[in-house]
Structure 1
Amino acid sequence: MELRTLKTFQVVATHLNQTKAAEILGYTQPTITMQMRNLEQEIGHPLFHRVGKKTYLTPAGKVLKQHVDRLMACVEEMNQALSRLHEPHGTLAIAAPEYYWTHHLTTLIHTFVQLHPQVKLKLVSCNSGDVMRMIASREADVGIVAGKQRNDDLAFVALDEEELLLVMRKDLHPDRDLSAILQKHPLLYKESYHLDGLFDRCMEEIPKPMTVIESGSEEAMRQAVLKGTGVGIISGDLIEEEIRKGELIPLHRFAQTLDTYLITRKDRSDELTIQAFVELVTEGWDEASETT
């Protein structure tokens, strides 16, 4: 049995009118009649009978229609599944530190949802180390991180580089050298600075501090410095407003930069949904930072 013939039967059996079926399918009525006659010969049972001017399904016709309805539903489901291979679909899990959600990703996610409403998003906020772990273990599909570490399974796409500053609250700044300041005030830094040795390289540029405090959140670190907890190594972009207002003052501008990367697994780089998000982020990263 050909699917085309079974589809014709389904339409005829639904409307019980060959003329109507011919209009729906774009066939001539003789073509419809020939297909139904051939189908009856193939299964060995009549499918329709007429009483006066009305057409009815025979018992064989009713049985066949039940099975054809299920078959055509399955074929439609298959066609829809195949069509999704040509466009983003499914679930996309995105992991990133809170800073990136606040300053970049909110705008990009809004655009992605408008472009691909059929994709279900899962958004995860965590530190850069956990982002890399989640991507490597397939718990997340795409991630944004500050810094990177060697991992042959991951692909890194550079998005941005930010100036790193050593800052403290202005009213706490004494008239003394940097070495004395670092002996008196704790040094705060973000844990992700360890990922690619960034923290160690920064330490080569300044005197050794007496006390260090590691933070998982750059925002928490910013607040701590503003409250006078200590001095901090912070992205210049994050504290641009505080420096402009004179609330924080730079004690040192590091030669090292804080690099931002988009990461995925290399063996998933050809997945359409991931490709669509990567393309949006790489093209819109700078613009998104300006609109937040």
Structure 2
Amino acid sequence: MELSQLKMVKAVARTGSIARAAEQLHCVPSNITNRLKQLEGELGTSLFIRAGRGLKISPDGEIFLGYSERILALVDEAKRAVDRQAEPSGILRIGAIESCAGGRLPPLLAEFHQRFPQVTLELVTGTWSQLFEELQHHRLDGALVAVDTPQPKLDRTALYSEPLVLVANADAAPVLSPRDLQDQTLFMWPGGCPYRRALEHWLNAHDVTVTIIGYASWGTIIDCVSAGAGMTLAPEGVLDRYTLSAGLARYRFADLQPIDIRFVWNKEIERHTARDAFAQLLQERLGK
């Protein structure tokens, strides 16, 4: 068993195709096919199942993939550990929920690039559950999320509290109290979103009934509000992109508790120079 074979397993599992994995690994498909057959012979089990024109990882393959990702991540950590004087470099994969990615994060990405030009930073967005899954499988080095849900493999630190504001079209009737929302339409992310949970908890506390329509995009939600189709409860940081181009009114209520934003990483990797530098920058600029 060789590290190159583990990389092949990871690439084929992620792409579902030997041809695409070969492009990613800069080798010929036949090499991957032969090396995977050798590995399956050594393990005495099939790692992949033919699914149409592609490949689907088998149950045994899922188990082996988890170990492969951990081994490859530890190899990278070992290289960094013996080069303690090195400046941050290489690829840094960061995930973020959309409100962070489009709100307070862009200026920090630019600053990080200026400080550490040898780091290639890749940013992906997703729900907090998707980001946790990617972190647990070492597909991300860190992520910004708006939940505090302990996970066995993950560690976390609080960064800042994001105020929540009720947003409506500026021409709509003013919202002076939660009762003014009775029977109104609100656009929010689908169930499971921490901002939606905060809204539902707040409305229940005031015995207010509304119609909630779910869209998985702040851009779509704000556009609907701007068009006068309804309202939303949004993190204040995400609104700065839209205020200049849309007639929006913001309403703040004392009993709307802010949402804590946290930076999360896989604690199996104790030292990651680029990740640690990024986390330090987050604390400097956003930390409480």
Tell me the TM-score range normalised by the shorter chain.
0.5 to 0.7
Alignment length, in residue pairs?
206
SS at match of 1:255: coil
Residues 92 and 121 of structure 1 are in contact (CA less than 8 Å); yes or no, is this contact kept in structure 2?
yes
- The Cα shift of 1:268 comes to 2.0
Partner of 2:282: 281
User: Is contact 1:168–1:251 with CA below 8 Å preserved after alignment?
Assistant: no
Partner SS, residue 225 of structure 1: helix
Query: Does the residue aligned with 1:135 lie in a helix, a strand or coil?
Result: helix
Matched, 1:109 2:109: yes
CA distance in 1, matches of 2:247, 2:171: 10
1:165–1:235 Cα contact (<8 Å) kept: yes
Structure 1 runs not aligned, ≥5 long: 1-79, 287-292
- Distance change >3 Å, CA 196–CA 152, structure 1 → 2: farther
1:139 maps to a residue whose letter is R
Partner of 1:201: 201
Alignment check: 8 A CA contact 1:193 1:199 kept: no
* CA distance in 2 between partners of 1:150 and 1:200 (Å): 23
Structure-2 separation of matches of 1:204 and 1:269: 42
Matched, 1:94 2:85: no
Q: Distance in 2 between matches of 1:128 and 1:153?
A: 15
Distance change in 2, residues 1:182/1:91 (3 Å) = same
CA 1:138/1:82 → structure 2, altered by over 3 Å: closer, same or farther?
closer
Tell me if 1:223 matches 2:226: no
Amino acid in the other structure paired with 2:258 = T
Give the match for residue 262 of structure 1: 263
CA distance in 2, matches of 1:267, 1:123: 21
Matched residue SS, 2:148: coil
How far apart, in 2, do the equivalents of 1:242 and 1:140 lie? 32
Tell me the secondary structure at the aligned position of residue 150 of structure 2: coil
8 Å CA contact retained: 2:80, 2:271: no
Per-residue CA distance 1:86-134 (angstroms, 9 max, x = gap) = 3323321111133323333322222322333332322212233322222
Deviation digits for residues 216-252 of structure 1 (CA, Å, limit 9, x no counterpart): 2333322221211212111234447859x97314274
Determine the structure 1 residue equivalent to 2:126.
126
Q: Secondary structure at the match of 2:104?
A: helix
In 2: Cα distance, 1:131 partner to 1:146 partner: 11
RMSD of equivalent CA atoms: 3.5
Closer, same or farther in 2 for the Cα pair 1:201/1:137, shift >3 Å?
farther
TM-score (normalizing by structure 1)? 0.58
* Matched residue type, 1:209: T
| Segment of structure 1 superposing worse, 189-198 or 275-284 | 189-198
Query: Counterpart of 1:202 in structure 2: which amino acid?
Result: W
Contact between 1:269 and 1:275, CA under 8 Å: does it hold in 2?
no
1:144 matched residue in structure 2: 144
Corresponding residue of 2:185: 186
Q: Name the CA distance, whole Å, in 1 between partners of 2:220 and 2:227.
A: 11
State the alpha-carbon separation in 2 of the partners of residues 196 and 86 from structure 1: 45
- Residues 157 and 261 in structure 1, CA contact (< 8 A), matched pair in contact too: yes
Given that 1:187 and 1:213 are in contact with CA atoms closer than 8 Å, whether structure 2 keeps it comes out as yes
Task: Decide whether aligned partners of structure 1 residues 81 and 162 sit closer, same or farther in structure 2, where only a CA change above 3 A counts.
Answer: closer
| Cα distance in 2 between the residues matched to 1:196 and 1:139 | 27
**Shift of residue 173, structure 1, vs aligned partner:** 1.5
Quote the offset at 1:195 in angstroms: 8.3
Q: Is residue 159 from structure 1 mapped to residue 159 from structure 2 by the alignment? A: yes
Distance in structure 2 (CA, Å) of the matches to 1:198 and 1:176: 19
1:34-83 CA distances to partner (integer Å, 9 max, x unpaired)? xxxxxxxxxxxxxxxxxxxxxxxxxxxxxxxxxxxxxxxxxxxxxx9886
Alignment of 1:52-63 (within 5 A): none
Q: Which structure features the higher share of helix residues?
A: 1
Q: Could you say if the C-alpha distance between residues 132 and 206 of structure 1 is closer, same or farther in structure 2, counting changes exceeding 3 Å? A: farther
Does the Cα contact within 8 Å between 1:167 and 1:251 map onto a contact in 2?
A: no
Quick one: distance in 2 between partners of 1:104 and 1:161?
Answer: 12
Q: Give the whole-Å Cα distance in 1 for the aligned partners of 2:196 and 2:225.
A: 24
Instruction: Provide TM-score, normalisation by structure 2.
Output: 0.59
Give 1:130's aligned amino acid.
Q
Cα distance 1:158–1:231, how it changes in 2: closer, same or farther (>3 A)? same
Q: Which amino acid aligns with 1:187?
A: L
Q: In the TM superposition, what is the alpha-carbon distance from 1:160 to its structure 2 partner?
A: 1.4
User: Is this contact kept in 2: 1:164–1:253, CA < 8 A?
Assistant: no
CA contact (8 A) 2:199 2:233 kept: no
Select between 167-176 and 119-128 the one with higher mean Cα deviation: 167-176
SS in 2 for 1:134: helix
Between the aligned residues of both structures, percent identity stands at 21
